[in-house]
């Protein structure tokens, strides 16, 4: 079984050298009138893609396509296959992966 995920949100500061949180707003507000925000850990495995991903500024608006996996230290994470900076720059990890 494969679990595909598509998320659009705002990047937070890096939490490790390979993991960042994506802040995704839900479509409803809490009792104080603020939108509820989920912080979802996202990781890239390839070196080139990870440097691009980690180089984006905190607060960047991005779209991520990937799959869900469990990670020993973080728990449930999204492993990104595709990242699109909503400002126009696109990076597809599958195209950049070394040919075997």
Q: What is the pTM of this model?
A: 0.71
Whether pLDDT at 97 is above 70: no
CA–CA–CA angle 75, 76, 79 (5° rounding): 120
Q: What is the CATH number of domain 4-96?
A: 2.40.50.140
Output the six-digit token pair for 25: 């707003």
Domain ranges of the chain: 4-96
Tell me which H or E stretch contains 48.
Answer: helix 47-55
Task: Give me the pLDDT at residue 34, please.
Answer: 84
Q: Which residue has the higher pLDDT, 48 or 3?
A: 3
pLDDT in tens, 49-92: 677 777 787 888 888 888 998 877 778 888 888 888 886 444 44
Per-residue exposure over 3-20, b if at least 16 CB sit within 10 Å of its own CB, e if not = eeeebebbbbeeeeeebb
């Amino acid at each position: 079984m494969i679990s595909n995920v598509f998320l659009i949100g705002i990047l937070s500061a890096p939490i490790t050298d390979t993991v960042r949180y994506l802040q995704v707003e839900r479509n409803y507000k809490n009792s104080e009138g603020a939108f509820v925000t989920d912080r979802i850990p996202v990781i890239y495995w390839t070196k080139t893609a990870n440097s691009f991903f980690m180089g984006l500024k905190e607060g960047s608006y991005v779209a991520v396509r990937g799959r869900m996996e469990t990670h020993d230290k973080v728990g449930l994470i999204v492993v990104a296959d595709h990242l699109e900076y909503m400002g126009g720059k696109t990076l597809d990890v599958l195209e950049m992966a070394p040919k075997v």
